[in-house]
C-alpha cells in the first residue's frame, strides 16, 4: 500500500480494510514503517522501536491497525518506559499498562514508543535523552508536549491515531500544535493501572491524539471503565461514545473567553481562532456569550497547579533514584530544579494546593449551571520555535543555587520561580483547568496561522460531558473538515 492511499484512512477506516479483506495487517504495518523511515529523522517522533507484542488480538475492532504508545506511563512489557529520562531508559517494564493491554485486546499493532519531555513536565517535547520532537507543519517549531511525539507522528501520517496522556494539557496542547483532535476524558473514566492508581493525584489521564473525531470516540469506548484496582467506579455514558460522535449535540449554551491572568496578552492568532470558532458555533445554532474574564480564578489555579506539580516532580525523581540507583546525573537541570522547588514546599502549602481544587470545581460547577461549555484558545500562542525555552545563563546559575537551597523562603527570592512559571504555563495557560477540576475538555483544529501553523480551540464541559463534547466535535468536523489538511514533509 502506498502512503497516499494509507494516509486517506483513519484508524476506523484501516480496521475496515482489514476486516473486509481489502488489506492485511502486514501490509498496513509495512506502510506505517515505510512512512516512519521516510520522515522520522526529520521530526524525531518515534524514539523506541517495538516488536509488536504477540498477545494482540487478531479479531478485535482494530485488528491489524498500526499504533504507537507514549514513552510515559504506557508500559509495554519487556521494554523500558523512560519518561524521557536517562534515569529510567534501561529499566524494562514487567507488565503492560492497563491501557496498553486494552489496545492490544482491540487488535492494535504496537510498533513504537513516542517522544516525551522528561516526566512529561513541559508543554514542549525537547528531552536531552532523545532530542527534540519537531512539528511536521514546520520542523523549526515544537509539536507541543508532553505528547509531542505522538502528535508529530499522527500529523506526519505515520499512524492515524496514537496513544497520549494529559496531566496539564498534554493531549490538547500537542493536538492543537499539530492540527489534530484531542480529548481529555473526565477524571476516573479511563483507568491508569495496574502500577498506578491516579497519576498526578488524579489530574492525569490516558487517551489518544487522532486525525478524526470518530477515532477518538472509538478509542474512548475501548479505554473507559474501571478495573478492580481503580479508585472509583466511573459513570459510563448511555450508549457508545462512537455513536455520540454521530449524534447532533442539540442547541448548546457556550461562553467564550480569551482572557488569561497568566498571559494577559495572548497572540492575536489565538484570539482570532477563538473568535472564528465562536462565529461558527453561532452559525450552527448554538447560543454564544462572550465573557471579559474567566469564570474562575485562573491566577490561583495556576499557582495551585504548579505547587502540586513541583511536589510530584520531586517524588518522580526520588522514585526513579530508588528504582535504578541513579544519581542527579540521570536527570535534566530543569527537572532537578522543579524537584528542588517541590522539596522546599511545606506540607501545609502542598495540602492547601490540593484542597483548593474544590474551590475551582465549585466555581466551574456554578458556571455550568447556566452554560454547557466554556470555549477558550487551546494555547495562547502558535507553537514556539525549538529551543525557545532554553534557559539563559543567569537562569542556569540560579538553578545551581536552587539545588543547594534548603528553605522555601530562599527559593521564593530567586528569579527562577518566575521563569519556571513562564516556561511551563506562559504559552499554555488555558488547559490546566480541566485537569485540576477533573472535567472533560477537547481541542478542535479549526485555525491555521498566516505562517501555516495550527492553533486549536478548547471546549471544557461539565463532569461526565465526554459524549456531549464528542457530539459537538463531530458537528464541527462536518461543518469545517480538517482531515485532508496535512503538512508536506
Q: Can you tell me the distance from the alpha carbon of 63 to that of 103, in angstroms, rounded to the nearest whole number? A: 10
Encode 285-316: b = buried (16+ Cβ within 10 Å), e = exposed: ebebeebeebbbbbeebbbbbbbbbbbbbbeb
Strands 161-166 and 109-114 come out as: unpaired
- Among residues 89, 170, 176, 216, the one annotated as catalytic is 170
| Residue 70 is a catalytic residue | yes
| Residue 210 is a catalytic residue | no
| Residue 85 is a catalytic residue | no
- Among residues 23, 82, 89, 146, the one annotated as catalytic is 146
Residue 198: count other Cβ atoms within 10 Å of its Cβ.
17
Q: Can you tell me the distance from the alpha carbon of 322 to that of 316, in angstroms, rounded to the nearest whole number? A: 10
- Among residues 23, 70, 82, 210, the one annotated as catalytic is 70
Q: Can you tell me the distance from the alpha carbon of 144 to that of 164, in angstroms, rounded to the nearest whole number? A: 12
Are 386 and 132 in contact, with CB atoms under 8 Å apart? yes
Sequence-separated (6 or more) residues with CB below 8 Å from residue 422 = none
Q: Can you tell me the distance from the alpha carbon of 130 to that of 117, in angstroms, rounded to the nearest whole number? A: 9
Q: Among residues 374, 384, 312, which one has the least CA distance to residue 341?
A: 312
Q: Can you tell me the distance from the alpha carbon of 188 to that of 205, in angstroms, rounded to the nearest whole number? A: 8
Q: Among residues 435, 432, 433, 459, which one has the least CA distance to residue 445?
A: 459
Are 63 and 75 in contact, with CB atoms under 8 Å apart? no
Residues serving a catalytic function are: 70, 146, 170
Amino acid at each position: 500500500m502506498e502512503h497516499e492511499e494509507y494516509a486517506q484512512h483513519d484508524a476506523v477506516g484501516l480496521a475496515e480494510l482489514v476486516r473486509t479483506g481489502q488489506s492485511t495487517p502486514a501490509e498496513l504495518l509495512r506502510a506505517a514503517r515505510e512512512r516512519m523511515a521516510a520522515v522520522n529523522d526529520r521530526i524525531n517522533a518515534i524514539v523506541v522501536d517495538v516488536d509488536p507484542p504477540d498477545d494482540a488480538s487478531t479479531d478485535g475492532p482494530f485488528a491489524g491497525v498500526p499504533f504507537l504508545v507514549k514513552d510515559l506511563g504506557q508500559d509495554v512489557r519487556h521494554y523500558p518506559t523512560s519518561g524521557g529520562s536517562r534515569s529510567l531508559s534501561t529499566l524494562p517494564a514487567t507488565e503492560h499498562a492497563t491501557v496498553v493491554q486494552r489496545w492490544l485486546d482491540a487488535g492494535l499493532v504496537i510498533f513504537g514508543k513516542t517522544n516525551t519531555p522528561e516526566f512529561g513536565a513541559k508543554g514542549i517535547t525537547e528531552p536531552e535523552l532523545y532530542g527534540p520532537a519537531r512539528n511536521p507543519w514546520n520542523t523549526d517549531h515544537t509539536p507541543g508536549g508532553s505528547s509531542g511525539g505522538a502528535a508529530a507522528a499522527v500529523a506526519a501520517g505515520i499512524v492515524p491515531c496514537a496513544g497520549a496522556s494529559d496531566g496539564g494539557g498534554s493531549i490538547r496542547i500537542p493536538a492543537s500544535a499539530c492540527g489534530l483532535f484531542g480529548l481529555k476524558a473526565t477524571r476516573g473514566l479511563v483507568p491508569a493501572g495496574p502500577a498506578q492508581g491516579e497519576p498526578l493525584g488524579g489530574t492525569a489521564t490516558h487517551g489518544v491524539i487522532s486525525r478524526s473525531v470518530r477515532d477518538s470516540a472509538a478509542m474512548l469506548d475501548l479505554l473507559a471503565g474501571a478495573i478492580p484496582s481503580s479508585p472509583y467506579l466511573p459513570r459510563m455514558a448511555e450508549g457508545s461514545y462512537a455513536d455520540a460522535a454521530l449524534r447532533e449535540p442539540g442547541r448548546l449554551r457556550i461562553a467564550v473567553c480569551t482572557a488569561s491572568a497568566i498571559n494577559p496578552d495572548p497572540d492575536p492568532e489565538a484570539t482570532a481562532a477563538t473568535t472564528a470558532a465562536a462565529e461558527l458555533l453561532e452559525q450552527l445554532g448554538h447560543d454564544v456569550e462572550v465573557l471579559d474574564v474567566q469564570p474562575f480564578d485562573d491566577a490561583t489555579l495556576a499557582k495551585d497547579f504548579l505547587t502540586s506539580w513541583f511536589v510530584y516532580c520531586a517524588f518522580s525523581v526520588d522514585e526513579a533514584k530508588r528504582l535504578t540507583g541513579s544519581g542527579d546525573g540521570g536527570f535534566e537541570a530543569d527537572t532537578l530544579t522543579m524537584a528542588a522547588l517541590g522539596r522546599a514546599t511545606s506540607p501545609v502549602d502542598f495540602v492547601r494546593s490540593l484542597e483548593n481544587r474544590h474551590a475551582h470545581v465549585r466555581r466551574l460547577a456554578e458556571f455550568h449551571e447556566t452554560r454547557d461549555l466554556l470555549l477558550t484558545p487551546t494555547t495562547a500562542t502558535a507553537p514556539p520555535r525549538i529551543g525557545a525555552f532554553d534557559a539563559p545563563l543567569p537562569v542556569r546559575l540560579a538553578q545551581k543555587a536552587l539545588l543547594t537551597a534548603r528553605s522555601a523562603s530562599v527559593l521564593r527570592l530567586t528569579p527562577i520561580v518566575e521563569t519556571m512559571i513562564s516556561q511551563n504555563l506562559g504559552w499554555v495557560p488555558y488547559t490546566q483547568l480541566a485537569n485540576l477540576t477533573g472535567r472533560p475538555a477537547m481541542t478542535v483544529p479549526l485555525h491555521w496561522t498566516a505562517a501555516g501553523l495550527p492553533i486549536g480551540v478548547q471546549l471544557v464541559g461539565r463532569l461526565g460531558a465526554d459524549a456531549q463534547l464528542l457530539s459537538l466535535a463531530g458537528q464541527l468536523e462536518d461543518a469545517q473538515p480538517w482531515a485532508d489538511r496535512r503538512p508536506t514533509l
